[in-house]
A and B are shown apart, each in its own frame.
Chain A
Amino acid sequence: KNEVEQSPQNLTAQEGEFITINCSYSVGISALHWLQQHPGGGIVSLFMLSSGKKKHGRLIATINIQEKHSSLHITASHPRDSAVYICAVRSRGSQGNLIFGKGTKLSVKP
Chain B
Amino acid sequence: GAGVSQSPSNKVTEKGKDVELRCDPISGHTALYWYRQSLGQGLEFLIYFQGNSAPDKSGLPSDRFSAERTGGSVSTLTIQRTQQEDSAVYLCASSLGGRAGGYEQYFGPGTRLTVT
Give the interface of A toward B (CB within 8 A).
30-31, 33, 35, 41-45, 48, 50, 86, 88, 90, 92-103
Contact A45–B107 (Cβ < 8 Å) = yes
Asked if B59 contacts A97 (CB within 8 A), the reply is yes
Instruction: Tell me the B residues contacting A by CB distance below 8 Å.
Output: 31, 33, 35, 41-45, 48, 50, 53, 56, 58-59, 89, 91, 93, 95, 98-107, 109-110, 112
Given the known interface contacts A43-B91, A92-B100, the answer about A98 and B105 at a Cβ–Cβ threshold of 8 Å is: yes
Q: How far is the CA of A29 from the CA of B102 in the complex (A)?
A: 10
CA distance in complex: A99, B102 (Å): 13
Using CB atoms, name the residue of chain B closest to A91. B100
Complex CA gap A44/B35 in Å reads: 14
Instruction: Enumerate 20 A-B pairs (CB-CB under 8 Å) in ascending A order.
Output: A41-B112, A43-B91, A44-B107, A45-B104, A45-B106, A48-B102, A90-B100, A93-B100, A95-B48, A95-B50, A95-B53, A96-B50, A96-B102, A97-B33, A97-B56, A97-B58, A98-B43, A100-B44, A101-B42, A103-B42
Given A30-B101, A41-B89, A92-B100, A97:B45 Cβ within 8 A: yes
Q: Which residues of A contact B35 (CB under 8 A)?
A: 98, 100
Q: With A33-B105, A43-B91 as given contacts, are A102 and B42 in contact (CB-CB < 8 Å)?
A: yes
Closest B-chain residue to A95, C-beta based?
Answer: B56
C-alpha spacing A70/B101, complex, angstroms: 17
5 additional contacts (CB under 8 A) given A86-B42, A93-B100:
A42-B110, A45-B106, A50-B101, A90-B100, A97-B33
